[in-house]
Amino acid sequence: MIIKSINLTNFRNHDTYRLECHQNTSLILGKNGSGKTSVLEAIYISTRGKSFRASDHEIIKNGTEFYRIELEYSSGEKILITYDGNNKIFLILDKKSKRLPKKHQYPIVLFLPSDLNLISHAPSRRRDYFDRVFSEFDENYNQNLLKYEKSLKQRNEILKNEFITQDSLFSWNLLLAKYGTKLFNSRQKFIQEINQELTKTYRSIAENADEIEIFYKSEASGLSESKYLNILEENFQKDLLIKHTSFGVHHDDYVFYFNHKIADGSASRGETRSIILALKFIEANLIYDKQHKKPIILLDDVFSELDPTRRRCLIKNFRNHQVIITSVEDFQDNQSSQTA
């Protein structure tokens, strides 16, 4: 699928805005704070059904009562999204829906400036990153994650009550054990697939013999669903005291290794950026291998963080995809550019 255009109304700081997209690479130019990222956010909502950075009520332009997005693909298919402060409606082929139907979702590889600091981020940021990546190409993973997070939230709410018994947590323990082990198995599998390509892809960027690996760290490692359940039950008194669930895959982490040492502290800034680039290339390939769709590539102001060699590598590896880039500087070469 190729995006032809997108129109915005009352979206973030845009009264109105229209982007005509090139089938290969489109460049959105503008100063910081001009609303470039908002355009990518609108594309993401139109293709994935939700924002990558905020809730809907935060998106409406100050002083207005609604926002509107209209995205058109080159095929002629249009997706109209409106949000009035209470309800978000997707209108596709004269059919209304409160959520973007799965058959109308399209995969995205999103590259944010903060991704370049992924290795040094807190574990929660890495979990969020990989959850988003895995959800892009595996709908079952996304559903298991949503069910796990809902169960975790409910269990934590019950733990805040003054008078509860262990039995009142049993059904939530069952759900956490079920979906927690499913998430662990999926995460372990996907990280193994990434590791199989990571060093080779990194070397194609850095042109050296360095070795890269991601170690998936989880409390659920090697646990069956029943053992997972037992640990939740054994931790009842502890959880009751601290008022939240102390055990589970919501504490997982992904530790990057550079030449058999923890990359955070041993890899240089340039080496770290090459690792993240390699990760993005693998992400795009995984989506294509598993869904047989070429993802649309959204690059938010990352070129200012990359040297010319890595910029060329980025364009080269994504040359067969539709790429939409935001930037404060014009570095284009036969690309379509527009000011935000």
Of the candidates 3, 26, 40, which has an alpha carbon nearest to the alpha carbon of residue 336?
26
| Domain identity same for 42 and 92 | yes
| Domain identity same for 122 and 68 | no
Q: How many domains does the chain have?
A: 2
Strands 78-83 and 88-92 come out as antiparallel
- How far is the C-alpha of 15 from the C-alpha of 47, rounded, in Å? 22
Q: What pLDDT sits at residue 73? A: 96
Calculated CA dihedral for residues 20, 26, 31, 35, nearest 10 degrees = 50
| Domain identity same for 172 and 129 | yes
Count helices and strands in the chain by DSSP H and E runs: 10, 14
Is residue 111 in a domain? no
Question: Which amino acid is located at 103 in the chain?
Answer: K
Q: Which helix (H) or strand (E) holds 71?
A: strand 67-73
| Domain identity same for 156 and 101 | no
| Domain identity same for 130 and 172 | yes
Question: Which amino acid is located at 14 in the chain?
Answer: H
DSSP track, 302-328 = -GGGS-HHHHHHHHHHTTTS-EEEEES
256, 279, 294: which is the final residue of a domain?
A: 294
Of the candidates 65, 30, 112, 74, which has an alpha carbon nearest to the alpha carbon of residue 302?
112
| Domain identity same for 149 and 265 | yes
- How far is the C-alpha of 29 from the C-alpha of 285, rounded, in Å? 28
Q: What pLDDT sits at residue 303? A: 84
Is residue 275 in a domain? yes
| Domain identity same for 215 and 81 | no
Q: What pLDDT sits at residue 331? A: 64
Strand partners, 81: 69, 90
261, 277, 294: which is the final residue of a domain?
A: 294
pLDDT in tens, the chain (340 residues): 899 999 999 999 999 999 999 999 999 998 888 999 999 999 999 999 999 999 999 999 999 999 999 999 999 999 999 999 999 999 999 999 999 999 999 999 999 989 999 999 999 999 999 999 999 889 899 999 999 999 999 999 999 987 898 999 999 999 999 999 999 999 999 999 999 999 999 999 988 999 999 999 999 999 999 999 999 999 999 999 999 999 999 999 999 999 999 999 999 989 999 999 999 999 999 999 999 999 999 999 988 888 888 888 888 889 899 999 999 877 655 456 677 7
- How far is the C-alpha of 118 from the C-alpha of 218, rounded, in Å? 18
* Domain coverage including residue 329: 1-106+296-340
Is residue 218 in a domain? yes
Tell me how long the chain is. Answer: 340
Is residue 325 in a domain? yes
Question: Which amino acid is located at 221 in the chain?
Answer: S
pTM, whole model, 2 decimals?
0.88
Is residue 34 in a domain? yes
DSSP track, 132-183 = HHHHHH-HHHHHHHHHHHHHHHHHHHHHTSSS--GGGGHHHHHHHHHHHHHH
| Domain identity same for 254 and 319 | no
Calculated CA dihedral for residues 81, 294, 18, 63, nearest 10 degrees = 40
CATH number at residue 187: 1.20.1050.90
| Domain identity same for 300 and 288 | no
| Domain identity same for 86 and 14 | yes
220: left (phi over 0), alpha (psi -120 to 50) or beta: alpha
DSSP track, 262-283 = EHHHHS-HHHHHHHHHHHHHHH
Is residue 75 in a domain? yes
Q: Within a 10 A sphere around the Cβ of 67, how many other Cβ atoms?
A: 24
| Domain identity same for 127 and 270 | yes
CATH number at residue 53: 3.40.50.300
| Domain identity same for 20 and 164 | no
Q: Within a 10 A sphere around the Cβ of 201, how many other Cβ atoms?
A: 21
Is residue 253 in a domain? yes
Q: The tokens 């990153």 sit on which residue?
A: 129
Q: Within a 10 A sphere around the Cβ of 228, how many other Cβ atoms?
A: 23
Of the candidates 156, 153, 174, which has an alpha carbon nearest to the alpha carbon of residue 240?
156
Q: What pLDDT sits at residue 85? A: 92
- DSSP state, 93? T
273, 294, 315: which is the final residue of a domain?
A: 294
Is residue 241 in a domain? yes
